[in-house]
Amino acid sequence: MDTAKITSKGQVTIPKAVRSRMAVRAGDRLAFEFAGDGAVRMRPLRSGQEPLGGFLAQHAASKPSSADAMRRALRARAAAKHGPK
């Protein structure tokens, strides 16, 4: 079993064997899911899987948009974050 220590800032270094098996590297994002029994599941977020909650929440108070307008906004957001296709 691989183990890690939590620093005073709440940071953890993921052991090399775990990073290799998960195929993650510096800059990758991880998602944490909590089970009812207290277990935590950690999985890598692959490109395009980032949660949109924050993006959508900031626009929730604005007037409703058409589906085309929402698609344009999502494409613009993705292009700003990842560059144009």
pLDDT by position in tens, the chain (length 85):
899 999 999 999 999 999 999 999 998 889 999 988 989 999 998 765 555 555 555 555 566 567 888 888 888 888 887 766 5
CA-to-CA dists, residue 36 to 11, 14, 33, angstroms: 24, 24, 10
| pTM for this prediction | 0.51
Integer distance in angstroms from the first to the last C-alpha of the chain?
Answer: 42
**Pick from 51, 60, 61: which is nearest to 81 by CA?**
51
**Pick from 53, 16, 49: which is nearest to 30 by CA?**
49
How many helices and strands, by DSSP H and E, does the chain display?
A: 3, 2
- The pLDDT of residue 61 is 57
Kindly list the structural domains of the chain, giving each domain's residue range(s) and its CATH number in brackets, ordered by start. 1-46 (2.10.260.10), 53-82 (no CATH)
Contact predicate 4/14, CB 8 Å: yes
- The pLDDT of residue 9 is 95
